[in-house]
Structure 1
Amino acid sequence: MKDWYLLYCKRSEQERAVINLDRQGVECYYPQVTVEKIVRGKRVTAFEPLFPSYMFVYFDPESISYTTVRSTRGVADFIRQGARPQTVNPDLIYSLMINEDSEEQQSKLSDLPKPGETLKLTQGQFKGIEAIYQEPDGEKRSFMLINLLGKPVKVSVQNEDLVKK
């Protein structure tokens, strides 16, 4: 009987794992989100994994063994509960598929400050320091440029720690 499982992939090798797993007849899914970032000085729109290094796979362990899937190039191992690979509720997978790149997800990313905008940090070790927004660092963090001892330093902070000046 087919089930969904969660795999941990080697760093930046999800695409390789998908190609190799597809050849073996294993259905793969990893949710992606559209992000804007600066590449070589130009703003580009790119797709990035919502869960970097993690992928959902759908297969029947009686047809394709766990060892075969785990030994595929790009795959590190299954996420396990004890000795057995952890199954994932199919409703979770289908809701991720439906909500992938939804307008709500895109609006979360567009709520971020614009690069170069001056902000004040409200919490954490840099509380009270003015910073210049640089770029997002994942879904909940951002890179900020702060002035420490007369030199600009790039730091990563929680998005909720920011307030616009």
Structure 2
Amino acid sequence: MLTNNTKDSRWYLLQCKPRQDERAQINLLRQNYVIFRPQLINERLIRGKPHKTLESLFPGYLFIQLSYDDNWAPLRSTRGVCRVVHFNHGPATVADHIIEHLRARCREPLELQATEELKPGETLQIIRGPLSTLEGIFLSRLGAERVMILLQFLNREQQVRIPLSDLERQRS
């Protein structure tokens, strides 16, 4: 990826046409734009066998670095690009520290939280987020970074998808 060192450049959010993230990325790179499309490895079952695939963290969106003086006109006609996302009558800017955080997270090797694989029925403690006081029962993995757990919540059993980093094994 190219880096733009211009002081007045900022990161903006682009919306892509449905299922054309990669096409938009390739076409923008050909036009020498500085772009970032965060991706993570996801594990899926295909014909009963696990396969790792590279998927967009934000399907349908990518980030582009531009200055106010850059030529924005070609963005409208770039294949795969739908529009520049606007909020409050102007393009939506994304802070540099957010982009750097996403880059660091997507660069990290995906590792299991614990050396041992989680087993269905194992009790887990939620340690972060709004459900941080609850315990759940592990049901299954949903890719490399998410799991499905069963919570007893509001007098019902609820299946909840939660990041693996927000859980830890229950202490004995």
**Which residue is 2:20 aligned to?**
13
**Which residue is 2:51 aligned to?**
44
Structure 1 residue 89 corresponds to structure 2 residue 95? yes
Structure 1, residues 96-136: CA drift from partner, whole Å, max 9, x if none?
A: 11121425x6446x99967xx579xxxxxxxxxxxx75x63
Q: Check whether the contact 1:5–1:85 (CA below 8 A) recurs between aligned residues.
A: yes
Structure 1 residue 75 corresponds to structure 2 residue 95? no
Q: How does 1:149-164 map to 2 (within 5 A)?
A: 157-159=159-161
Provide the aligned C-alpha RMSD in A.
3.6
Structure number with higher helix proportion: 1
The structural deviation recorded for 1:83 is 2.1
Match of 1:3 among 10, 34, 48: 10
Calculate the TM-score normalised by the size of structure 2. 0.61
Q: Distance in 1 between matches of 2:62 and 2:47?
A: 29
How many percent of aligned residue pairs carry the same amino acid?
30
Q: Check whether the contact 2:42–2:53 (CA below 8 A) recurs between aligned residues.
A: yes
Q: Distance in 2 between matches of 1:58 and 1:138?
A: 29
Aligned residues: 137
Q: How does 1:25-40 map to 2 (within 5 A)?
A: 25-40=32-47
**Quick one: which amino acid aligns to residue 79 of structure 1?**
V
Q: Check whether the contact 1:70–1:77 (CA below 8 A) recurs between aligned residues.
A: yes
- Compare 90-99 and 67-76 and name the one that shifted more: 67-76
Q: Distance in 2 between matches of 1:75 and 1:111?
A: 43
Q: Distance in 2 between matches of 1:39 and 1:25?
A: 36
**Which residue is 1:57 aligned to?**
64
Q: Check whether the contact 1:34–1:106 (CA below 8 A) recurs between aligned residues.
A: no
Q: Check whether the contact 1:34–1:101 (CA below 8 A) recurs between aligned residues.
A: no
Unaligned regions of 5+ residues in structure 1, if any? 120-131, 143-156, 161-165
The change in CA–CA distance for 1:75 and 1:138 in structure 2 (over 3 A counts) is farther
Unaligned regions of 5+ residues in structure 2, if any? 1-7, 123-138, 149-158, 163-172
